[in-house]
A = this chain, B = another copy of it.
Protein backbone atom coordinates (compact mmCIF):
# COMPACT_ATOMS: atom_id res chain seq x y z
CA UNK A 1 0.00 0.00 0.00
CA UNK A 2 2.75 2.43 0.85
CA UNK A 3 3.81 2.37 -2.79
CA UNK A 4 0.72 4.36 -3.69
CA UNK A 5 1.36 7.27 -1.32
CA UNK A 6 3.84 9.04 -3.60
CA UNK A 7 1.08 9.37 -6.19
CA UNK A 8 -0.52 11.95 -3.95
CA UNK A 9 2.37 14.34 -3.64
CA UNK A 10 1.91 15.74 -7.12
CA UNK A 11 -1.73 16.23 -6.27
CA UNK A 12 -0.88 17.99 -3.02
CA UNK A 13 1.16 20.48 -5.00
CA UNK A 14 -1.36 20.99 -7.75
CA UNK A 15 -2.56 24.50 -8.44
CA UNK A 16 -6.24 25.03 -7.68
CA UNK A 17 -8.86 27.75 -7.41
CA UNK A 18 -8.05 30.20 -4.58
CA UNK A 19 -5.89 27.46 -2.99
CA UNK A 20 -8.92 25.62 -1.59
CA UNK A 21 -7.59 22.12 -2.46
CA UNK A 22 -11.16 20.91 -2.97
CA UNK A 23 -10.53 17.17 -3.13
CA UNK A 24 -10.78 13.94 -1.18
CA UNK A 25 -9.39 10.65 -2.46
CA UNK A 26 -10.94 7.52 -1.01
CA UNK A 27 -8.54 4.67 -1.53
CA UNK A 28 -10.26 1.30 -1.41
CA UNK A 29 -8.02 -1.71 -0.88
CA UNK A 30 -10.05 -4.32 0.97
CA UNK A 31 -11.85 -6.85 -1.17
CA UNK A 32 -15.21 -6.57 0.53
CA UNK A 33 -15.53 -2.84 -0.08
CA UNK A 34 -14.29 -3.22 -3.65
CA UNK A 35 -17.04 -5.77 -4.29
CA UNK A 36 -19.64 -3.40 -2.84
CA UNK A 37 -18.40 -0.57 -5.09
CA UNK A 38 -18.59 -2.81 -8.12
CA UNK A 39 -22.09 -3.96 -7.21
CA UNK A 40 -23.36 -0.39 -6.81
CA UNK A 41 -21.89 0.68 -10.13
CA UNK A 42 -23.22 -2.34 -11.99
CA UNK A 43 -26.71 -1.83 -10.61
CA UNK A 44 -26.82 1.88 -11.38
CA UNK A 45 -25.32 1.47 -14.82
CA UNK A 46 -27.89 -1.16 -15.71
CA UNK A 47 -30.59 1.39 -14.85
CA UNK A 48 -28.72 4.07 -16.83
CA UNK A 49 -28.67 1.93 -19.95
CA UNK A 50 -32.15 0.48 -19.65
CA UNK A 51 -34.18 3.33 -18.22
CA UNK A 52 -32.54 6.60 -17.26
CA UNK A 53 -30.60 7.62 -20.32
CA UNK A 54 -31.84 8.10 -23.89
CA UNK A 55 -30.96 6.16 -26.97
CA UNK A 56 -28.53 8.88 -28.13
CA UNK A 57 -26.43 8.55 -24.97
CA UNK A 58 -26.41 4.76 -25.16
CA UNK A 59 -25.23 4.84 -28.78
CA UNK A 60 -22.65 7.56 -28.13
CA UNK A 61 -20.83 5.64 -25.42
CA UNK A 62 -21.39 1.98 -26.24
CA UNK A 63 -18.11 1.64 -28.17
CA UNK A 64 -16.22 2.01 -24.91
CA UNK A 65 -17.23 -1.40 -23.57
CA UNK A 66 -18.29 0.18 -20.29
CA UNK A 67 -20.31 -2.68 -18.84
CA UNK A 68 -17.59 -5.21 -19.50
CA UNK A 69 -15.05 -2.99 -17.76
CA UNK A 70 -17.13 -2.63 -14.63
CA UNK A 71 -17.15 -6.38 -14.01
CA UNK A 72 -13.42 -6.20 -13.52
CA UNK A 73 -13.53 -3.31 -11.07
CA UNK A 74 -13.14 -5.49 -8.01
CA UNK A 75 -10.22 -7.43 -9.49
CA UNK A 76 -7.77 -4.51 -9.43
CA UNK A 77 -5.62 -3.99 -6.37
CA UNK A 78 -6.83 -0.47 -5.62
CA UNK A 79 -9.83 1.69 -6.39
CA UNK A 80 -9.40 5.43 -6.02
CA UNK A 81 -12.72 7.23 -5.64
CA UNK A 82 -12.18 10.90 -6.42
CA UNK A 83 -14.52 13.29 -4.62
CA UNK A 84 -14.75 16.99 -5.37
CA UNK A 85 -15.67 19.24 -2.47
CA UNK A 86 -18.16 21.68 -3.92
CA UNK A 87 -17.85 23.78 -0.76
CA UNK A 88 -16.57 23.43 2.76
CA UNK A 89 -18.81 23.50 5.81
CA UNK A 90 -17.02 25.11 8.71
CA UNK A 91 -18.07 25.22 12.30
CA UNK A 92 -21.28 27.16 13.03
CA UNK A 93 -22.54 26.27 9.55
CA UNK A 94 -20.38 28.84 7.77
CA UNK A 95 -19.73 27.88 4.15
CA UNK A 96 -16.50 28.41 2.28
CA UNK A 97 -16.87 28.71 -1.48
CA UNK A 98 -14.68 26.40 -3.55
CA UNK A 99 -14.12 28.30 -6.78
CA UNK A 100 -13.47 26.19 -9.89
CA UNK A 101 -13.61 23.01 -7.81
CA UNK A 102 -14.28 20.69 -10.74
CA UNK A 103 -11.52 22.18 -12.90
CA UNK A 104 -9.09 22.09 -9.96
CA UNK A 105 -9.65 18.48 -9.06
CA UNK A 106 -9.63 17.34 -12.70
CA UNK A 107 -6.22 18.98 -13.20
CA UNK A 108 -5.06 17.17 -10.05
CA UNK A 109 -6.31 13.90 -11.52
CA UNK A 110 -4.30 14.61 -14.68
CA UNK A 111 -1.16 14.94 -12.56
CA UNK A 112 -2.13 11.77 -10.73
CA UNK A 113 -2.51 9.90 -14.04
CA UNK A 114 1.03 10.94 -14.97
CA UNK A 115 2.26 9.74 -11.55
CA UNK A 116 0.43 6.42 -11.87
CA UNK A 117 2.00 5.81 -15.26
CA UNK A 118 5.45 6.84 -14.02
CA UNK A 119 5.06 4.31 -11.20
CA UNK A 120 4.57 1.53 -13.76
CA UNK A 121 0.91 1.09 -12.87
CA UNK A 122 -2.10 1.43 -15.14
CA UNK A 123 -5.54 2.94 -14.70
CA UNK A 124 -8.47 4.28 -16.67
CA UNK A 125 -10.86 7.11 -15.91
CA UNK A 126 -14.41 5.98 -15.23
CA UNK A 127 -17.40 8.13 -14.35
CA UNK A 128 -19.84 6.37 -11.99
CA UNK A 129 -22.93 8.03 -13.41
CA UNK A 130 -25.80 8.21 -10.89
CA UNK A 131 -23.91 6.01 -8.43
CA UNK A 132 -22.63 9.00 -6.46
CA UNK A 133 -25.02 9.07 -3.50
CA UNK A 134 -24.61 5.34 -2.75
CA UNK A 135 -20.82 5.46 -3.11
CA UNK A 136 -20.65 8.53 -0.89
CA UNK A 137 -22.62 6.70 1.78
CA UNK A 138 -20.57 3.51 1.45
CA UNK A 139 -17.30 5.41 1.79
CA UNK A 140 -18.52 7.70 4.56
CA UNK A 141 -18.01 11.00 2.75
CA UNK A 142 -19.72 14.30 3.51
CA UNK A 143 -22.84 15.65 1.82
CA UNK A 144 -20.86 18.43 0.14
CA UNK A 145 -18.51 15.92 -1.50
CA UNK A 146 -19.55 14.67 -4.93
CA UNK A 147 -17.92 11.77 -6.71
CA UNK A 148 -16.18 12.84 -9.90
CA UNK A 149 -14.25 9.79 -11.07
CA UNK A 150 -13.39 6.27 -10.06
CA UNK A 151 -9.90 5.09 -10.96
CA UNK A 152 -9.12 1.38 -10.85
CA UNK A 153 -5.36 1.16 -10.32
CA UNK A 154 -3.02 -1.81 -10.54
CA UNK A 155 -0.77 -3.78 -12.82
CA UNK A 156 -2.12 -4.65 -16.24
CA UNK A 157 -3.34 -8.23 -16.65
CA UNK A 158 -1.16 -10.44 -18.82
CA UNK A 159 -3.87 -10.60 -21.46
CA UNK A 160 -4.91 -6.94 -21.18
CA UNK A 161 -5.86 -5.12 -24.37
CA UNK A 162 -6.63 -1.47 -24.99
CA UNK A 163 -8.98 -0.03 -27.61
CA UNK A 164 -7.20 1.16 -30.75
CA UNK A 165 -8.61 4.68 -30.66
CA UNK A 166 -7.66 7.13 -33.37
CA UNK A 167 -6.53 10.50 -32.05
CA UNK A 168 -7.06 13.82 -33.71
CA UNK A 169 -3.89 15.00 -35.48
CA UNK A 170 -1.87 17.68 -33.73
CA UNK A 171 -2.98 20.42 -36.12
CA UNK A 172 -6.61 19.79 -35.16
CA UNK A 173 -6.02 20.47 -31.49
CA UNK A 174 -3.26 23.09 -31.63
CA UNK A 175 -3.34 26.42 -33.36
CA UNK A 176 -0.20 28.51 -33.52
CA UNK A 177 -0.17 32.31 -33.41
CA UNK A 178 3.38 33.12 -34.32
CA UNK A 179 3.06 36.01 -36.73
CA UNK A 180 2.64 39.70 -36.16
CA UNK A 181 -1.07 40.39 -36.16
CA UNK A 182 -2.11 43.74 -37.59
Contacts and interface: CB of A to CB of B under 8 A. Distances in A.
10 contacts: A1-B178, A8-B170, A10-B114, A12-B168, A27-B176, A29-B178, A30-B177, A106-B106, A111-B113, A139-B175
Interface string A102-126: 1111111111111100000000110
B19 A177 contact: no
A60 to B, nearest CB: 5
Interface in A16-43: 17-19, 21, 23-33, 36
Query: What is the count of identical protomers in the complex?
Result: 2
A66 B136 CA distance: 35
Given A14-B113, A60-B99, 12 more contacts: A18-B64, A21-B173, A24-B174, A30-B178, A30-B179, A30-B181, A32-B180, A33-B181, A36-B181, A107-B113, A110-B110, A140-B175
A22 to B, nearest CB: 10
Contacts of A160: none
B113 A100 contact: no
A125 B113 CA distance: 18
